[in-house]
Structure 1
Amino acid sequence: MNKYTVLKWEKLLLWLVPPILRKKTHVDWLDVLLTPLHTIYKETLYKMQHTGQVIYLEKVLNETFNPDKIYNPNASTEQKRLEKLIYIDESVKPTIQYVYLHKEYFEPDVRLPDGTILKGQLMIPQLKIFTHKEYKNRDNKPVYLAHRKDYTTVSYANFRVLIPENLIANQTIISHQKKEEIVSNTEAINVTDRKYHDLLNFYKLAGKSYETYPYSAKD
């Protein structure tokens, strides 16, 4: 923190009080009166030092609701999950997927004048089909064919806030879900904590929307 932003309130108070009034009782009384100003100054300075960037927003969320954890802005998503940190990810939106014909996957065999046959080659990767067991792994995602309604009638959040499910279970972040109703990070939850929303709405860019998802480090 820059030195010019650090105020030594006790010294400043002594400078402003005339020497004849510099008695301990009087100074202590004035210091009590300045306490609200101390708080406002610290809160304002803290807000000025953080922006709506992802790393700053994650830092503020963890310092407010997850103070026992040390936030590392250089950590990967997997590391943040293992450390049970609050982190931000992109919103899940369907992407346009083109269905290829069989003949578009392969080049046909070519017969040369001398009778040699050149085998066709795979032009584009085939669509991978996952078994049920493989699909349970969150890294394996089957191909989803988006419909026109997915883009015209469904609204999607701009980003997701993923929080450890223990913060929901112990009511650090208050949500509508009860402990036994907590699900995996495939479904958004309804957070009713006003402090949580006020903080996000203060730092996030105007017009951006978000959804909250719980997660378990085992997912």
Structure 2
Amino acid sequence: MIPLAMWFNVDFEKLMLLLTPTFLRKKVFIAYLYSLVLPITKLHYQWKVKRLSDWYKLEHTGQVCSLRKVLNDNLDPSLRRIWIGEGNSFQRKYIYTRAEKKPVFLGRMFIYQNSEYLNTGADFNVYVPSEIINTSKHQIDALIVFYKLASKRYKLYPI
């Protein structure tokens, strides 16, 4: 965690008051100095917020536990219903011609999407409640793309 007394925690209003000579510390003059310090204070606050968000991004990786935490923190903080599962990888079954002299009987077959076969499918599945998918699908995609490894593929499934 970040200690409270760090070099970047500067109270500019207090510093301005301490650097003002005592004989100039009148209400009108102090109010004027506050108005001069206000833009610096706002800029400093924006910098601190940006710094905290950057630290949050650096602390989380594309690992399953970390990615699940990021998704739940941003999209479902109270119920935390988003979870990540293994990707589907089914073997392809081929129908042979008579010239190939292979068995014709195929057995029981299931029809899968093209993306669910080996080396073409998703490496992991993200299970998200349907109301979250309906309201913020682009945010889900952006978070997953930001944190996942470049070679990994994913697929969203509504719960």
Cα deviation, residue 167, structure 1: 1.7
TM norm structure 2: 0.64
Would the aligned equivalents of 2:71 and 2:82 in 1 still touch at CA under 8 Å? Answer: yes
Structure 1 counterpart of 2:70: 60
Listed as ranges, the gaps of 5+ residues in structure 1 are 72-84, 97-142, 175-192
CA distance in 2, matches of 1:20, 1:5: 23
Structure 2 counterpart of 1:173: 136
| 1:162 matches 2:127 | yes
Structure 2 counterpart of 1:184: none
Q: Which amino acid aligns with 2:123?
A: N
Would the aligned equivalents of 1:94 and 1:144 in 2 still touch at CA under 8 Å? Answer: no
Would the aligned equivalents of 2:13 and 2:34 in 1 still touch at CA under 8 Å? Answer: no
> Over residues 74-94 of structure 1, what are the superposed CA-to-partner deviations in whole Å (9 max), with x where a residue is unaligned?
xxxxxxxxxxx1110001112
CA distance in 2, matches of 1:6, 1:90: 43
CA distance in 2, matches of 1:64, 1:95: 36
Cα deviation, residue 16, structure 1: 7.3
CA distance in 2, matches of 1:4, 1:53: 30
Q: Choose between structure 1 and 2: higher helix proportion.
A: 2
CA distance in 1, matches of 2:157, 2:4: 40
Q: Aligned with 1:160: secondary structure? A: strand
Paired residues in the alignment total 130
CA RMSD of aligned residues (A): 3.5
Q: Which amino acid aligns with 2:131?
A: N
Q: Pick from 57, 60, 71: which aligns with 1:47?
A: 57
Structure 2 counterpart of 1:214: 158
CA distance in 2, matches of 1:161, 1:5: 40
Q: Aligned with 1:161: secondary structure? A: strand
Once the two structures are superposed, the pairs formed by residues 65-104 of structure 1 within 5 Å of their partners are: 65-69=75-79, 71=80, 85-94=81-90
Q: Aligned with 2:126: secondary structure? A: strand
Cα deviation, residue 31, structure 1: 0.9
TM norm structure 1: 0.48
Q: 1:49 to 1:214 in 2, by over 3 A?
A: same
Cα deviation, residue 159, structure 1: 0.4
Would the aligned equivalents of 1:10 and 1:31 in 2 still touch at CA under 8 Å? Answer: no
CA distance in 2, matches of 1:211, 1:145: 20
Structure 2 counterpart of 1:104: none
Shifted more, 13-22 versus 204-213: the winner is: 13-22
> Over residues 5-43 of structure 1, what are the superposed CA-to-partner deviations in whole Å (9 max), with x where a residue is unaligned?
9776343x4687681398433333311122331232121
Q: Aligned with 1:9: secondary structure? A: coil
CA distance in 2, matches of 1:206, 1:5: 38
CA distance in 2, matches of 1:200, 1:57: 7
Once the two structures are superposed, the pairs formed by residues 128-207 of structure 1 within 5 Å of their partners are: 150-151=117-118, 155-168=120-133, 171-174=134-137, 193=138, 195-207=139-151
